[in-house]
Chains A and B, each alone.
Chain A
Amino acid sequence: EVQLVESGGGLVQPGRSLRLSCAASGFTFGDYAVHWVRQAPGKGLEWVSTISWDSGRIDYADSVKGRFTTSRDNAKNSLFLQMNSLRPEDSALYFCAKDIWGYSGYDPHPFDYWGQGTLVTVSS
């Protein structure tokens, strides 16, 4: 069974940093691109970042470019999101998700499995 479990969320002051993790199981993690998507309370989905299966390509939304860094450890089946210079507008539930197809180059694909999310609140 495919599982994605996010952790690392919490309350943080503006300007500070936070590191999210996503633990994957039930599939060959190293074969798939994985993603971060966030959802502010009561709002819609916002794509945040994608990292290819081999870390050869990493993309970011303009809203987080230069502040957030995505990485992965295929040996540990883990995805990470380092969030620096946090702003109140970064407050959201952060989901990790996996590509529907594995080992398919760098072409974008839809997301077929999602975790349940970890909540980040940026407030003084």
Chain B
Amino acid sequence: DIQMTQSPSPLSASVGDRVTITCRASQSISSWLAWYQQKPGKAPKLLIYKASSLKSGVPSRFSGSGSGTEFTLTISSLQPDDFATYYCQQYSSYSRTFGQGTKVETK
């Protein structure tokens, strides 16, 4: 199975900060990567798919990049609503594995 590793975890930041989360795949997954946001007690929410495509309705401060084995999720200016846990997921293989998650917490 393809393993997904996220860093850092956790991530301490302040409102207004530029935040970058990295996700690495154990083998090439082309651009078949999604990012999700999850808040406590809630279901995950899809933010980005195909590494860099923003889902409709998701604020433009979120962006994704990368291909092959290394990917990043960037929040250009962290807002109070963005404190949450973020997961990457590969869908290159039928075993659609998630990263372990990165919790963005208040510095």
Contact = CB atoms under 8 A, between A and B. Distances in A.
Interface of A: 35, 37, 44-47, 50, 57, 59, 61-62, 95, 97, 100, 108-112, 114-117
Interface string B1-37: 1000000000000000000000000000000101010
Given A46-B98, A47-B96, A114-B43, A108 B91 contact: yes
Contacts of B91: 108-110
Contacts of A61: 95
B contacts with A: majority SS: loop
Contacts of B42: 116
A59 B32 CA distance: 18
B23 to A, nearest CB: 13
A21 to B, nearest CB: 17
Contacts of A100: 46, 49
Interface in B86-105: 87, 89, 91-101
Given A44-B98, A108-B91, A110-B46, 13 more contacts: A35-B96, A44-B87, A45-B36, A45-B101, A47-B89, A47-B95, A59-B95, A108-B32, A110-B89, A112-B55, A114-B45, A116-B42, A116-B43
